[in-house]
Structure 1
Amino acid sequence: MDIERIERVRANLRRRDLTQLLIVDPLSIWWLTGYYTEPLERLLALYLPLDGTPTLFVNRLFPDASATGARVVSHSDTDDPIPMLCDAIDAARPLGVDKELAARWLVPLMQAGAAANFVLASDAVDDARAIKDAREQELMRIASRTNDEAMAWLAEQVRPGATELDIAEGLLATYRRLGAQDHSFSPIVSFGAHAADPHHEPDATPLAPGDMVLFDVGCKRDGYCSDMTRTFFTAEPTEHQRAVYDAVRRANEAAEAIVRPGVTFAEIDLTARRIIEDAGWGPQFNHRLGHQIGLQDHEPGDVSATHDEPVQPGMCFSIEPGIYLPGDMGVRIEDLVIVTEDGCEVLNSYPKGIQVLG
């Protein structure tokens, strides 16, 4: 078990006036204990009391968990794990549960009166995971450097006859050649007007002369995710295209420039949004500015107008303004940043100036 991480979660529980938490998210369990397995339909749960030894509930089909240092309670496919959970939970007190607790476990716990009441308390773990320690920050840097290298490969694939799907399907082998293990999300490859759809799924569309090309891609390396977007040209951009691109680039760079401890997520979003609004495309920037990232590509805590919490050192999130003009074009430029003691570190070094490929 990682005692420092467990104590950070416990501190968050104290602030919530909670004395116990049931965690079922496999990544959060791994982050706290070093134990990982995919439970599928079976129960995997970590019961974390405010004091004392945590209890890990595992099916006997799962790998041995004794090395975690937790108290291990095992069960078989024919056992009902609900009574086992009830034995560990303090029925006289509220129980915090995480957002991944399925109804097939939650409802029986409620019916059994396992706790005084049930409280959604994912933020006790989510807020702790949001602050990356030094090792995690280095893993985020490595994943983003890998993504920078992959973006260079992607740019080389933009040639006559290539399709969106051809390029997207070739990316995983490139990630693995560069040392990553997997995508952190399905890659977005958009030619021409397809880029006006922020979440376009690559298809068999071939590159047409003069198309703009948008790549939004990320890899997972040693458990940590990267995420970056770049938009390219395949012909000299028109004045209109340059204006749209310039507005997005300035919004991206201005937002990154104000990131420092104490600045709120909402202020960062507003900084980028005002630049795009002043350029005349406010309604065409139709999503939040960014999202936190780490073990998962999208982690709780977005960079948006409604998130008034201040950023803290160790937080890692995306800055990804965009302008989307249906039937015409779309531009998005995205980097990841880590908040430092007096500013931020931009994890992506792939150039953001206008690039004409071919």
Structure 2
Amino acid sequence: MNQERLNVVLREMEKQNIPQIVVSDPASIFYLTGKWIHPGERMLALYLNVNGDKRLFINELFPVHEDLGVEKVIFNDTQDAVEILSRYVEAGKPLGVDKNWPARFLLRLMELKSNCKFVIGSNIIDRVRMRKDPREIELMRQSSRINDLAVGKLIELIPQKYTEKKMGQILLEIYEELGAEGCSFDPIIAYGANAADPHHTPGNFTVREGDCVIIDIGCVKDSYCSDITRTVFYKKVSDEAAKIYNIVLEANKRAIDTVKPGVRFCDIDAAARNYIEKAGYGKYFTHRTGHSIGIEVHELGDVSAANTDRVEPGMIFSIEPGIYIPGIVGVRIEDLVVVTEDGCEVLTGYDKNLTVIE
């Protein structure tokens, strides 16, 4: 158990008047214990109480032999896991539960502890996770360095005219060669008009002269995620596509230049969005400007018009404006930034000037 992180969580619980929580998110359990446990459909729960009680409820199918600094309560498939958990939950007091805890567990616990007030508790740990410590920041740097190398290798392969789908398969081999643990999300590789779909699923399409190529990829290294998007052009680029590219690039730079402690996330979004709107392409920028990232590729905290929270040192998020003209062209440029004491550090380093691949 990482006592420093646990102490921060317990303080936040007290501030929010939530004396006890059930943590079921494997990523948050890893964040606090340093141990990944993937329980599938079975119950996994870390119970925390501000009075100091902490217990890990785990099926015997997932043996944890090391000392995690927390008492382990072991159960098997023939037992009622939620009933066992309920024995330790304090009656009549508010209980925080994770936002994604399956209903079959939550409803059973609500039945057994009907006098508890059930509230969403995952925001407590999610908000603590938003601010990365120095060790986490260094792990994010390492993951991003691998991703820079990987995106470069994929771009070099474009002239070989592999299909979008094949490029994704090759990416897995590249990550393995570079020492990554795999992809942090399903890669997006899109040629030509396909690039106008921000979440295009790679298919059996090959690149053609004049196509834009979007490569949006991320890897996991030592349990921390990276994410980068680069858009390049094959053989030639039209004047309109070049214009769009440079607008997106400037929007990306303006948003990054806005990042510093105290600035609101919505202000960062506006720095990119307002520029694209003034250029006449506002309706073609169809998604938020960015998302927080760390142990998971999408964490609490996004760079959007709806988020009025202020950024703080240690926060890491993406800056990824885009313009998507249906049936014609799509451009997205994405970087990761970590907020410093007086600005930000860009974690992604691969060149983003307009590039035509021969």
Q: Does 1:295 align with 2:310?
A: no
Cα offset, 1:241, TM superposition: 1.2
RMSD: 1.1
Return 70-79 or 322-331, whichever deviates more.
Answer: 70-79
Alignment of 1:55-134 (within 5 A): 55-64=55-64, 67-113=67-113, 115-134=115-134
Contact map agreement 1:94 1:115 (CA 8 A) in 2 = no
Contact map agreement 1:65 1:72 (CA 8 A) in 2 = no
- Aligned twin of 1:32: 32
Aligned AA (2:344): C
Alignment of 1:6-45 (within 5 A): 6-45=6-45
Deviations 1:36-82 (A, max 9, x none): 21111111100000121311101111122550111111111111122
Aligned AA (2:290): G
Contact map agreement 1:93 1:117 (CA 8 A) in 2 = yes
Contact map agreement 2:20 2:48 (CA 8 A) in 1 = yes
Alpha-carbon distance in 1 for matches of 2:320, 2:23 = 31
Aligned AA (1:5): R
Contact map agreement 2:207 2:234 (CA 8 A) in 1 = no
Aligned AA (1:117): K
- Aligned twin of 2:272: 272
| Secondary structure of residue in 1 paired with 2:158 | coil
- Aligned twin of 2:239: 239
Contact map agreement 2:208 2:234 (CA 8 A) in 1 = no
Q: Does 1:46 align with 2:73?
A: no
- Aligned twin of 2:135: 135
Alpha-carbon distance in 2 for matches of 1:218, 1:139 = 14
Give TM-score scaled by structure 1 length: 0.98
Aligned in 2, Cα 1:279/1:247: closer, same or farther, shift over 3 Å? Answer: same
| Secondary structure of residue in 2 paired with 1:216 | strand
Give TM-score scaled by structure 2 length: 0.98
| Secondary structure of residue in 1 paired with 2:87 | helix
Aligned AA (2:330): G
Alpha-carbon distance in 1 for matches of 2:234, 2:4 = 50
> How many aligned positions are there?
358
Alpha-carbon distance in 2 for matches of 1:115, 1:204 = 56
Residue segments in structure 2 that go unaligned for 5+ positions in a row: none
Aligned in 2, Cα 1:175/1:220: closer, same or farther, shift over 3 Å? Answer: same
- Aligned twin of 2:343: 343
Which stretches of structure 1, 4 residues or more, deviate above 6 A after TM superposition?
A: none
- Aligned twin of 1:207: 207
Aligned in 2, Cα 1:46/1:110: closer, same or farther, shift over 3 Å? Answer: same
Aligned AA (2:67): A
| Secondary structure of residue in 2 paired with 1:153 | helix
Aligned in 2, Cα 1:41/1:115: closer, same or farther, shift over 3 Å? Answer: farther
Contact map agreement 2:210 2:233 (CA 8 A) in 1 = yes
Cα offset, 1:100, TM superposition: 2.1
| Secondary structure of residue in 1 paired with 2:159 | coil
Alpha-carbon distance in 2 for matches of 1:328, 1:126 = 39
| Secondary structure of residue in 2 paired with 1:317 | strand
Cα offset, 1:114, TM superposition: 5.5
Alignment of 1:172-211 (within 5 A): 172-211=172-211
Aligned in 2, Cα 1:160/1:36: closer, same or farther, shift over 3 Å? Answer: closer
Contact map agreement 1:261 1:311 (CA 8 A) in 2 = yes
Deviations 1:72-100 (A, max 9, x none): 11111111122221111111201011112
